[in-house]
Structure 1
Amino acid sequence: MNATIELFAAPERQRARFIVSHEFFKKGEITDICVRHLGVDAELTTRELAERVMAERDLNVSDTALRNSVVFKGVQALRHAKRRKLVRMLEKKKGMRVWGAGDAVTLRAVANIPSTTG
């Protein structure tokens, strides 16, 4: 009970709030933006990629809470992209991961071509 009261009584001591909801970005949008930027620039940190995602969506890059939220969304998207070999994690610098372009090329649209045998 006291912990709940503390949350509302001392707003300056509250933890950072995460404000990007589940459906704020389209599925695969963060990954697509990150892969495109990694194709142009060889190496980027997670924060740099998040700032580029925010710039493309016309979001306020100077908003720390929003940027942190996009960074966490970006980490999640990049980890999934790493499994699909779209990106690779090169190293960790000062607690921040450095990412590079991956080796895989994927096609999102698949043509449904009817069989000519028959």
Structure 2
Amino acid sequence: MLAAPVTLALQASLLSAATTLHAILGLAIQQSSTLIAADWYQALARPWGGPPLQDQRLGGAIAWSFGKPPSAAVAVALLAQWWRADQREARRVDRELDRAQAAGVDNALAAYNRQLAAWAQRDP
């Protein structure tokens, strides 16, 4: 029953990668001294706003900073899902062990302990 935690781990990895790449892109645009698509901005000859490079740097700063709160919210939701999946798995294992104990069936924990004891006797 590792499907949910593995999927959640993959989601966490993808979120981390996306957040990192988003931050790198925003910082690269913010710190750039070269205007992206300079020919287009020159042909536009817009009468409003500051210089296009200043707007580009502002856009990079916005991309860098405004991407963090949504990413943090997604991370919190992902951690909550992970915690709930872990709690469900723990309850399932507890029920399985309780049923085995009630039926007098040897459970996996006892078998594991016997295996450890055997290893301890074999290796002084």
TM-score (structure 1 length as normaliser): 0.23
Larger radius of gyration: 2
Decide which structure has greater strand share: 1
**Higher relative contact order by CA 8 Å / sep ≥ 6: 1 or 2?**
2
TM-score (structure 2 length as normaliser): 0.23
Decide which structure has greater helix share: 2
